[in-house]
Structure 1
Amino acid sequence: MNLIGAERICAMDSAEVDRLAQLLFEYQISSNKLEHCAAMLVFGSHDERVAHYAAKLYRQGWSSKIVFTGGLGRITKRLWHESEADRFARIAEQEQVPASAILRENKSRNTAENIRNIQKLLKQEGLEEKKLLVIERPYRALRTRVTLTCQWPKLDFIISSLPLTYEEYAHWYESGRAPISKHEFISILVGDTQRNLIYPSRGWQDPVEIPEVVLSAAHELARQGYTEQLLSNVSSW
């Protein structure tokens, strides 16, 4: 798809936008059955509900440690003055997770930095060879999985995602309670689909099949103006 000089159209019926966006959302879902692990690894983002979900799993006994990772990313650097990891850790403490059970990696700005910094932290804590329960947003789970298998091939992990549907996410963004707009949420879905296509050739993710219907949906949404989270140095995909 060539986006050079593309105009922002956004004239598509909202129901059709939702249909296409739901294809991208459901394509990214990649969760496992819950099992006890030595520690949880929680990737930060603008969605604080992930921190609440991790705290709930801790209280239920699924792990005895929580590692929150994330500095300030593309979106959160304009929302907050504290790192994603620090913000999520504060939420977890408010949800009855003891500070002694929490580890923080609060310097990384992207997933690759997340992984490098987490490896160092877990080694210091004697957890580098333990099984991890990775906590993610459902629409980021597949990308996180193939990034971990590529950049940390020896890691033993499972993924559990916030148990919400596309409709529930869309309603949250439409309600005004979310920290970003629904337009930007859909732009994230488009951008992550593009990254699943581009990043394997750069050695940043393992290859993953993208069904033609999913790629076509991403292209159509990009033509409709959902482009904020596309890679700036890629003109054709």
Structure 2
Amino acid sequence: MKPGVRVPEREPRAITDGQWSDAKLMWDFHLLRHEPRPCDAAIGLGSHDLGVATRAAELYGEGLFPVVVFSGGNSPTTVARFPRGEAVHYREHAVGLGVPDDAILVEPRAGNTGQNITFSREVLAAAGFSPKTVLLICKPYAERRSYATTRKLWPEVDVLCASERLEFDDYLKSIGDDKLVVDMIVGDLQRVIEYPKLGFAVAQHVPRNVRAAYERLIAAGFVSRLARV
């Protein structure tokens, strides 16, 4: 290093390095890394993350689908951010990014991923769409669970997943709450593990090291997004 050159200090994390490593391992597992291709319709799954609508607008601009359903009402983590409902705010954001209003359908009732899929399917049918291929657009760490849910509830369609192309650290910065993101990553893995037993999703293999990371984070208190199962 040259004399007098100051090395920038890394911004302190709200989580320990070990917790970051465990969460990154789980983040990588949740990402399915599907290559987007043209589909008959897209569904933007409601959440606290407006990046879902941003990614939907990008993929619409690439000509990958003719219509997108934005699905979602509100949850305790979104009602302050999206007071008019997740789907409505997503639509407004996508229109602001150039998606034509007539290419957007709004499903404003869903309160969970199963309802996102079921209600969006009904909205598409009512609008005259019977898709054989569907592109799910969601938070990065929700890809695996969203895919498993759709395969269970709508097995006749060919499903792809897409999300914002962000590295883990960049996603943490974009949300601005490390603890919340890790809580949600843990909660999504719990659902991947437990929901197939309840008939909500298809079963998927969870590698031993991913499960061990999940158990360590639960023991460390990252539990606010765990479901009662």
TM-score, L = length of structure 2: 0.89
Aligned-residue identity in percent? 30
Distance 1:134 1:206 in 2: 16
User: CA shift at 1:156, angstroms?
Assistant: 2.1
Stretches of structure 2 that go unaligned for 5 or more consecutive residues are 1-13
* Kept in 2: contact 1:65–1:101 (CA 8 A): yes
Aligned to 2:218: 222
State the AA in 2 paired with 1:219. E
Aligned to 1:210: 206
Instruction: Indicate the structure whose relative CO is greater, using CA pairs within 8 Å and at least 6 residues apart.
Output: 1
State the AA in 2 paired with 1:122. L
Q: Secondary structure at the match of 2:94?
A: helix
Distance 2:52 2:121 in 1: 21
User: CA shift at 1:196, angstroms?
Assistant: 1.1
* Kept in 2: contact 1:31–1:161 (CA 8 A): no
TM-score, L = length of structure 1: 0.86
> Does 2:189 match 1:193?
yes
2:153 to 151, 154, 160: 151
Q: Secondary structure at the match of 1:134?
A: strand
State the AA in 2 paired with 1:34. P
Stretches of structure 1 that go unaligned for 5 or more consecutive residues are 1-11
State the AA in 1 paired with 2:100. P
Distance 1:210 1:45, change over 3 A: same
Distance 1:142 1:37 in 2: 19
Alignment coverage as a number of residue pairs = 216
Q: Secondary structure at the match of 1:32?
A: coil
Deviations 1:151-182 (CA, angstroms, capped at 9, x unpaired): 11112222122111212112334xx4xxxx21
1:67 to 48, 69, 73: 69
Query: Aligned Cα RMSD in Å?
Result: 1.6
Distance 1:219 1:78 in 2: 31
1:57 to 27, 38, 59: 59
Distance 2:50 2:63 in 1: 21
Distance 1:132 1:38 in 2: 6
State how 1:1-237 maps to structure 2 within 5 Å. Answer: 14-173=16-175, 176=176, 181-231=177-227, 233-234=228-229
